[in-house]
Structure 1
Amino acid sequence: MFRQPTLLKRHPANPIIKPADFPFGSADVVFNPGQIMYNGKTILLLSILLRNQAYARVHVAESDNGVDFTINPEPAFTRDPERRFGDLDNHPIDCRITQIGDTYYIIRPGNSPKGCIDLMYKTTDFKTFEFMDIVALPHNRVPCLFPEKVGGYYVRLDRPYGGAGQADGNIWLSKSPDLIHWGQYRFLMGPYTNWNWEKIGPTPPIKTEKGWLEIIHGVSSSCSTVSYSLGAVLLDLEDPEKIIGRMESYLLTAEEPYEQTGRTPNCVFTTGAIADMEKRRLRVYYGAADTCIGLAEGDLDEIIDACLKGL
């Protein structure tokens, strides 16, 4: 099979986390981890679906070397046990993590028959999580926070999701004075090339010297398959409503057997990325076919340059 060279390279130990790795031994799939550095360790928030259960849960995993992870057998998030919002908070998955100061903010979807709401939590230790509020109406598929204020406001990227037959798949930008109340909505970008022509979605932006680096996922389809791939966009540091560069080609697409076969075939999907500014490296932990987790790494400056050149 022909393979296009990409700027993200898979780790030789892939898939680095599999359902069989869970300490309680009853996971069907593990996918789409939130990711961040905390006290020198790599932290992942793993989406897990247990056997014979309809609703997912989220567990914390940590690693000293970024490859070998210890998984907490107790979940960080489950289907809301208090049912504070009735049936609104089902199936917690796809956590996005952003550090602002010494606090780590987590936004995750609450899927329900009424649509997808978004719940925000905060933590300082990844052991206890304080619920803040529902921060988006249906249907907003997990907003992603910037790691600092821009122009005096908190800023986030939104992905409205209208469902079948409705306008969706675009990325918007919004602002807030307090992380709870959001407005000043602006359209940022929509699908723009062959690997993402159906829809795109954001992750928490990474601040670099040349702009906000935004890793996106994109979806395309043919007569027989639907494919999820990853790409990159660069936003202006002072005015992130401006796109100053974006890659035309993908960073990663489903090519390995563990990415092509599983609960969602032909899928590589991420909810974030981790940049090492000293080593100038980018790590992306991604869900492979919604079944296991892979790691891909690349040169940070090459990816930024590819955005600026439209490669």
Structure 2
Amino acid sequence: MVTIEKLGILLSPTEFNFENSGVFNAGIYQEGSILHILYRAVEHGNFSTIGYAKTEGPLSITERNEQPLILREFDYEKHGVEDPRIVKIEDTYYITYTAYDGVNAMGALATSKDLVHFEKHGIITPHVNYQEYEDYVNCCGGKKLNPKYHQYYNLFAQIGLVDDENRLLRDKDIVLFPRKVNGKFVLLHRIWPGIQIVQFENWSELTEAFWEDYLKNLIHHIVIDPKDYFEVDYIGAGGPPIETEYGWLLIYHGVQETTTGKIYHAKAALLQLDKPEIELARLPYPLFSPSKPWEIEGVVNNVVFPTGHALFGTDLYIYYGVADRHVAVAKCDINELLTELRKQS
């Protein structure tokens, strides 16, 4: 087992209207000893924007904006810009987030040179309804997929929504690798219930034709599917993968279905450095689970939801949303975690 130290809550809601209901699921970008924190800020009525805070070291908040950093601007995000992740590749910050229009939750992209001015690039994930999705995945190997890949389609078919042109494929937990691999951008995303990978040279490649071909071959793009008891319901990527000598360390969440409801756990896996589509190992148990009062009870109970991290020496600080209410921090030794993962390979 990996030794985990939970360090408590780092950020909580304030009296400001834009974040008076929840502050959680923060993307982290580390610049030396400084952390830039882009967090989901929720106001009453479940409308989300992205807030900003900065630390010196892993835990000391030195700055926090009193207004959102990134606003809701377009119809595709009119209900929320949610759960940001952030990397910097060359001279550009890439912020991936879930755009929520009140019905659909899809992956979107914004970029910045300075974390002050942002350019939005719209939806970057497949723009298809569930009938189209089902037709594509059944074309080429759909019957070999985990049956849960068909579960939303089956549900919507039962209630007559499968042909609804306005109800689109849900695609969340959009996470970029922190550098190009073999000259390509590499992106993880979650078409329920697993984690899939996309590799491309230019963002302009992500066309309707690209995604049609991708979905027809979806089974070949799955990196990690639910496997053990603690992630049997579904999984999703956390922060950007961490490059180590043994592979890409991925912290992700796994959801366990119980008789009293879902429990979100933090999990860990290792992907191959030069072929990140290959899983080398994963922990067969949670890295950590809800155990503190603020993790067990909140807007959504029993949730630890990792979305960012920072390294100070060998101390790996994991920043995670708790119960859709706060941002909390846990710490472990990265070498101990890697040793434990390598035992599983």
TM value normalised by structure 1: 0.87
Give, in whole Å, the separation in 2 of the partners of 1:301 and 1:206: 12
Give, in whole Å, the separation in 1 of the partners of 2:84 and 2:77: 17
SS in 2 for 1:195: helix
Aligned to 2:86: 97
Aligned to 1:143: 174
SS in 2 for 1:97: strand
| Greater Rg by CA | 2
Alignment equivalent of 1:43, drawn from 36, 49, 63? 36
Give, in whole Å, the separation in 2 of the partners of 1:174 and 1:105: 16
Matched residue type, 1:274 = A
Matched residue type, 2:322 = A
CA RMSD of aligned residues (A): 2.0
Query: Structure 1, residues 178-207: CA drift from partner, whole Å, max 9, x if none?
Result: 134245661112111111111010132111
Aligned to 1:165: none
Matches within 5 A, 1:121-160: 121-137=110-126, 138-160=169-191
Shift of 1:54: 3.4
> Is 2:274 the partner of 1:238?
yes
Alignment equivalent of 1:299, drawn from 316, 329, 333? 333
TM value normalised by structure 2: 0.79
Give, in whole Å, the separation in 1 of the partners of 2:58 and 2:36: 9
Matched residue type, 1:110 = A
Matched residue type, 2:174 = P
Report the CA distance shift for 1:40/1:153 in structure 2 as closer, same or farther (over 3 A). same
Matches within 5 A, 1:65-214: 65-69=57-61, 70-80=63-73, 83=74, 86-137=75-126, 138-160=169-191, 168-182=192-206, 186-203=221-238, 204-214=240-250
Give, in whole Å, the separation in 2 of the partners of 1:79 and 1:294: 25
SS in 1 for 2:337: helix
Shift of 1:275: 2.8
Give unmatched runs, 5+ long, in structure 1: 161-167
Q: When the two structures are aligned, how many residues end up with a matched partner?
A: 290
SS in 2 for 1:304: helix
Q: Is the 8 A contact 1:246 1:306 kept in 2?
A: no
SS in 2 for 1:272: strand
Query: Structure 1, residues 158-182: CA drift from partner, whole Å, max 9, x if none?
Result: 211xxxxxxx210111111113424
Matched residue type, 1:172 = Q
SS in 2 for 1:266: coil
Matched residue type, 2:308 = G
Higher helix share: 2
Matches within 5 A, 1:193-272: 193-203=228-238, 204-272=240-308
Q: Is the 8 A contact 2:13 2:325 kept in 1?
A: yes
SS in 2 for 1:255: coil
Give unmatched runs, 5+ long, in structure 2: 127-168
Report which stretch shifted further, 24-33 or 224-233.
Answer: 24-33
Report the CA distance shift for 1:180/1:213 in structure 2 as closer, same or farther (over 3 A). farther
Give, in whole Å, the separation in 1 of the partners of 2:202 and 2:3: 37
Alignment equivalent of 1:15, drawn from 9, 13, 16? 9
Shift of 1:105: 0.5
Q: Is the 8 A contact 2:237 2:250 kept in 1?
A: yes
Give, in whole Å, the separation in 2 of the partners of 1:26 and 1:196: 30
Q: Is the 8 A contact 1:88 1:114 kept in 2?
A: no
Counting aligned pairs with the same residue, the percent is 26
Query: Structure 1, residues 220-254: CA drift from partner, whole Å, max 9, x if none?
Result: 02111210010110001011111111111111100
SS in 2 for 1:258: helix
Q: Is the 8 A contact 1:219 1:226 kept in 2?
A: yes
Give, in whole Å, the separation in 1 of the partners of 2:78 and 2:307: 19
